[in-house]
Structure 1
Amino acid sequence: MSDMTTPARAWTRWQDWAEVVLGVVAVLSPLWLDTTNPVTWTLIILGALIALDGLFSLAMPGVVYGEYVQIVLGILLFISPWVMGFTDMTGAMWSAFILGALTLIMGLAALPAANTAHRGMAGQH
């Protein structure tokens, strides 16, 4: 039975594992999608940042700002087809939309758990 003073356990939050998987899928997606060099690097860089943020959140579950970073990265990936001009590349565009939206949703889903873990860590002496 856990209470607010029990420290958050690292490497256990499913939302952060989902974030890592989404980031890895984004990084690898140019292998099966038709892309250009800028689109490939957009997917690789944003995907790597998403995966790294997920690993950071898994290792340090009480650090709430990691979830906010995840939300921002999800938004950036979602809008990247417009910003980087690849709305005409259907596969890459839909991959960015779906992976970005799922990253955003996982970040929002992880916020309550991160806040609880943060409050639990703050109560420790």
Structure 2
Amino acid sequence: MAKQWTRWQDWVALVVGVLVALSPLVVTTAGEPGALTTLIVLGVLLAATSLWSLYSPGVVATEYVHAVLGVLLFLAPFVFTYVGLGGAAWTSWIGGIVAVVAGLWAVPVSTKAHKELAQH
């Protein structure tokens, strides 16, 4: 049976979410208000869903949410026009890729945990 707080992919997503949310303290977002808001909001959402997934390892939907948030994070510099802000853009791109990989990597593990919980 899957244990709470043990899936490494969710811990990776949590760390990425926290780092993205806190990144405006380190990288410049000046001149692009969309960058500041996007990094904080998507980072907090990623961290929150990671905590939910760590607490409820049998909920498969949260892993897909990580992947979707990762895609949104990757596309954000283009949509909110902060490609020119190197630190903020790279934070979005790298954080987005890691979130997608971690989320999709956890889907089979979460699906297995869901099936185990359904049998009990």
> Normalization by structure 2: what TM-score?
0.96
Find out whether 1:34 has 2:28 as its counterpart.
Answer: yes
Q: Which residue of the other structure, out of 42, 48, 51, is the alignment partner of 1:52?
A: 48
Long gaps (5+) in structure 2? none
Q: Which residue of the other structure, out of 59, 62, 71, is the alignment partner of 1:63?
A: 59
SS of aligned partner of 2:6: coil
Find out whether 1:22 has 2:8 as its counterpart.
Answer: no
Find out whether 1:76 has 2:82 as its counterpart.
Answer: no
Matched residues, number: 118
One-letter amino acid of the counterpart of residue 29, structure 1 = S
Within 2, Cα distance between the matches of 1:90 and 1:17? 26
Which residue of structure 2 lines up, in the alignment, with residue 103 of structure 1? 99
Instruction: Select the structure of larger CA radius of gyration.
Output: 1
For the Cα contact (< 8 Å) 2:34–2:82, is it kept in 1? no
Q: Which runs of 4+ in 1 moved over 3 A?
A: none
Which residue of structure 2 lines up, in the alignment, with residue 12 of structure 1? 6
1:22-77 CA-to-partner distances (Å, cap 9, x unmatched) read 00000110011010332111000000000001000000000000001111000000
Q: Which residue of the other structure, out of 72, 77, 81, is the alignment partner of 1:85?
A: 81
Within 2, Cα distance between the matches of 1:72 and 1:108? 10
Within 2, Cα distance between the matches of 1:9 and 1:91? 37
> Normalization by structure 1: what TM-score?
0.92
